[in-house]
Structure 1
């Protein structure tokens, strides 16, 4: 069952749905037709058809819910371990530089916990636990900050084009003309 808002059934809702499936099994055993079962249980005929097929193949166990199909979740201990590993840095885990990308974190989660996340799911997981993305500042290794400051102070004012000053008839008026 899909929900437009991305939600799902609560535990109580799943239990109620499970009871409906078991009622369907009783009716299968009683020889009722799919349409009659669907009407009585207020579900679609396609659901009843699917349940009947699963019941024929695997018995009552085939009809039982397999649980939420949602993303696998890491427990609090696993999250704490993941954070410790992230703090150790990518070099420790075999990457050539010190940048954590979502793809790398996803791979790390798979290696540590044998759980598969999507890149988007990895981002949601990290965001839920207070992590944020950061763009590294890229600077040349040869950069000399003192020389840059000196250039900005001494050379830039001479190179920069002088500002135009407002003159009569120019569009650079400071006050609107009064009429």
Structure 2
């Protein structure tokens, strides 16, 4: 099955595909033609050519699976340190607010979810919350902070409509 639980191939499917590549490697060593190998293994000629290049550069090891594409880039030891630092909070690291990560939200979410963390959402609104101040901030401060994604100095970015001047 393709894309189970977060993407990529299952371990079984990866092993199956690696087996096909290794069969092709044995046939490269025997001097067989790319088109014949592709037809017999029921794969594209382009794939066999790519495998042949990998075989020439790295032998049979060059045809082995590199593992899942979405494997963690953070080791367990590194994550233990990260978890300890996360527990201290952003202010302990010099951040003025809760935005202390420069990764995308999706990347952070996958990393934290993989290690048992979850979104932090308050169960209720703070008693000290000033609704008037919140609305004022949304109307006056947020538009300045957010800014525009594209400059309007050069007119329209549409190719179908000329810039109005």
TM over 0.5: yes
Task: Tell me the equivalent position of 2:98.
Answer: 99
Where do 5+ consecutive residues of structure 2 fail to align?
A: 134-165
CA-CA distance at 1:23 after TM superposition: 0.8
- Does residue 72 of structure 2 align to residue 72 of structure 1? yes
Tell me the secondary structure at the aligned position of residue 59 of structure 1: helix
Alpha-carbon distance in 1 for matches of 2:22, 2:71: 26
Q: Structure 2 vs 1, CA of residues 30 and 10 (structure 1 numbering), >3 Å: closer, same or farther?
A: same
Of the three residues 111, 115, 127, the one matched with 1:125 is 111
Q: Deviations over 1:53-99 (max 9, x none)?
A: 1111222222222111114165666555434322211122232x142
Partners of 1:102 and 1:123 within 8 A in 2: no
> Which has the bigger relative contact order, CA under 8 A and spacing at least 6?
2
Task: Tell me the equivalent position of 2:31.
Answer: 31
Alpha-carbon distance in 2 for matches of 1:23, 1:62: 13
CA-CA distance at 1:30 after TM superposition: 1.4
CA-CA distance at 1:37 after TM superposition: 0.4
Residues 88-167 of structure 1 correspond to what in structure 2 (within 5 A)? 88-95=88-95, 97-103=96-102, 106=103, 118-127=104-113, 129-134=116-121
Moved over 6 A (4+): 135-138
Greater CA radius of gyration, 1 or 2? 1
Q: Structure 2 vs 1, CA of residues 58 and 127 (structure 1 numbering), >3 Å: closer, same or farther?
A: closer
- Count of matched residue positions in the alignment of Structure 1 and Structure 2: 125
